[in-house]
Chain A
């Protein structure tokens, strides 16, 4: 995966800034609550949602168990249909493959379909270094690119922006990248969409190379599938002469019958639609129809090591619907940028530390960026038990060096909890300590201060329950 952004603080520090930004809080609250409610309604329409969800999880699990078989089957089918298949072990290799393929066409521009895999490997930056400009064509990705910004959501990368901010970005930056925004453009969504349409149309008609990801890769026929709402993706998939698709190896599904399950799960979970407006599928190349050259880059980039982890591997079921982000109370307050990765929210909190490891401050803090409230698990269309994986990753973090104070405190507490006598002594000490400090502002940094900055400590009763119980017993209270 591409590296941790330079100077990226830990999640709590980045989130602190976000909680103090009222515009961001308002934008996120409005957007996540709207889509959250719509998803709930779209899912409630189906009587068999629970069965679909179980089927989705089971298909992914079965596919992952036999991943090598299905990938080779897909490779053979793509080649038989006139496509080329490349295997990339990591981000650097994938970027090198794509850069070389673009160079071989002699082009210096590509149009892009919205894709998480290419974000993950930092493809645009790698192409830029090679003198190749990548134009994002998804509306929200365009907003991020023109604003020189980072994506903050899987499906709606510019979710942190409101329409006035978008108007300003279009007005200020479109001209640098191509067709400028019309004079006097207002922040009316229709006017903004029209400006984007004009700006992008010129790119579509000129581009000779398209770069995409894929939502699914059907092994039995070697067919790639992209689902989208805008139709911009279809332009990029059909107009250029060369199409390069970068696809994570976990995107494979064995058959079209399996695909059917996901085509029900994904749109309802993602955009709350019964069916997404555009579903594009392509198999190799077809004479006189669409690109004349097709390259599939199969990306590992840490996925096989996730697969080797018995608890963590369920992460690879993810179909990137973003329902977990939209329902997450932490994401809603912290915003996507605090996660320091192209994968924010609950899925990011489990995926990023598995892809990048837990060496940096932000990556080590991500498994703790959750109250374990379980809302993400409930909405996940492929039943990824995100809280279970978070706790599993926390164990990896605490096994690393550091955490000296925390580890010794918890070890001491565990030692005391082993024995009722020690427990009672600890209880007395804790009660006396809390009582002395009650109710506020502990002077020392650490957990005590973190609590009392915004909350009073609980008032500590004179007598614990167990003391009362023993007294009641001896004083003959009714039993």
Chain B
């Protein structure tokens, strides 16, 4: 299966290891992965901040770039939701019927990573090994827009050595919310502090999510407070194996290009 990886601009720029882990994982499971260089951004920040009028070129670029793949996989619940829910809206608003058709053709092929693993590849045991206590934070867009349900935790439960701990108040928002984090910094920080307190109370070593943007906010608070918990994207846990516990030395990465 020819899989187009839509990594997202945040991961491309700030979290290349999440991309490398996604590639390693999908290749391990037999996918032919490509990262089309023409990809940029899904337009979510513009859309959600009230600049929806500006996203049409990004919507067009996405539909063109990913038209030729059997499936498109993205390691981000919120960018996935932007594409699934709002690219059709943006295309309809543009009044360009060809764009609406192109978007309608590509959207059903777009899957968030855990969705792709569980629903398309039909696996919940990806052969991973990660001997740590992990709390899973089901980020809001993964939970309520993408409706990932128990897919991520089903995958985590099958990771050897991993102890999945219950995160109190798991379904509560972490306070990131895109530009909310800077437009309402005090409420954002209050929410983040509660999320971190809950992860610490759960005794987690690692706070895991399917969205690096939320983890950027929580991770930034954790390093500022020098907390004991660290953040990690789901893909990086699923990529780790017994032979390679760090999950960072698979073939492609061994070529010397660590993030």
Which residues of chain B are near A375, meaning CB under 8 Å?
Answer: 140, 144, 171-173
Contact across chains for B50 and A367 when beta carbons are under 8 A apart: yes
Among A11, A15, A465, A471, which residue has the most Cβ atoms of chain B within 10 A? A465
Beyond A423-B41, A468-B259, 20 additional contacts (C-beta under 8 Å) are A15-B187, A25-B190, A329-B173, A368-B183, A368-B184, A371-B178, A372-B140, A373-B140, A373-B144, A373-B177, A375-B172, A395-B50, A397-B50, A414-B46, A417-B9, A461-B259, A465-B11, A468-B257, A469-B35, A478-B251
Residues of B within 8 A of A (CB): 7, 9, 11-17, 19-20, 27, 32-33, 35, 37-41, 43, 45-55, 57-58, 61, 140-141, 144-145, 171-173, 175-192, 216-217, 219-221, 223-224, 251-252, 254-255, 257, 259
Contact across chains for B49 and A431 when beta carbons are under 8 A apart: no
Return the CB mask of A77-121 against B: 1 if under 8 Å, else 0. Answer: 000000000000000000000000000000000000000000000
| Interface of A: prevailing SS | helix
Which residues of chain A are near B220, meaning CB under 8 Å?
Answer: 439, 451, 454-458
Once the chains are docked, how many angstroms separate the CA of A15 from the CA of B191? Answer: 12
Once the chains are docked, how many angstroms separate the CA of A334 from the CA of B186? Answer: 9
Contact across chains for B252 and A455 when beta carbons are under 8 A apart: no
Interface size on A, residues (CB 8 A): 75
Which residues of chain A are near B257, meaning CB under 8 Å?
Answer: 463, 467-468, 471-472
- Say yes or no for A464: interface residue by CB 8 A criterion: yes
Contact across chains for B47 and A411 when beta carbons are under 8 A apart: no
Which residues of chain A are near B178, meaning CB under 8 Å?
Answer: 371-372
Contact across chains for B189 and A370 when beta carbons are under 8 A apart: no
Which residues of chain A are near B37, meaning CB under 8 Å?
Answer: 420, 466, 469-470
Contact across chains for B50 and A398 when beta carbons are under 8 A apart: yes
Which residues of chain A are near B11, meaning CB under 8 Å?
Answer: 465
Q: Shortest Cβ distance from A160 into chain B, in angstroms?
A: 16
Query: Chain A residue with minimal CB distance to B185?
Result: A450
Which residues of chain B are near A455, meaning CB under 8 Å?
Answer: 181, 189, 192, 217, 220-221, 224
Which residues of chain A are near B45, meaning CB under 8 Å?
Answer: 410, 413
Once the chains are docked, how many angstroms separate the CA of A212 from the CA of B176? Answer: 41
Contact across chains for B46 and A374 when beta carbons are under 8 A apart: no
Which residues of chain A are near B51, meaning CB under 8 Å?
Answer: 395, 398, 407, 410-411, 414
Q: Shortest Cβ distance from A404 into chain B, in angstroms?
A: 13
Q: Which residues of A424-463 have CB atoms within 8 Å of chain B's CB atoms?
A: 427, 430-431, 434, 439-440, 446-447, 450-451, 453-458, 460-463
Which residues of chain B are near A463, meaning CB under 8 Å?
Answer: 16, 257, 259
Which residues of chain B are near A447, meaning CB under 8 Å?
Answer: 179, 182
Which residues of chain A are near B14, meaning CB under 8 Å?
Answer: 431, 434, 458, 460-461
Contact across chains for A12 and B50 when beta carbons are under 8 A apart: no
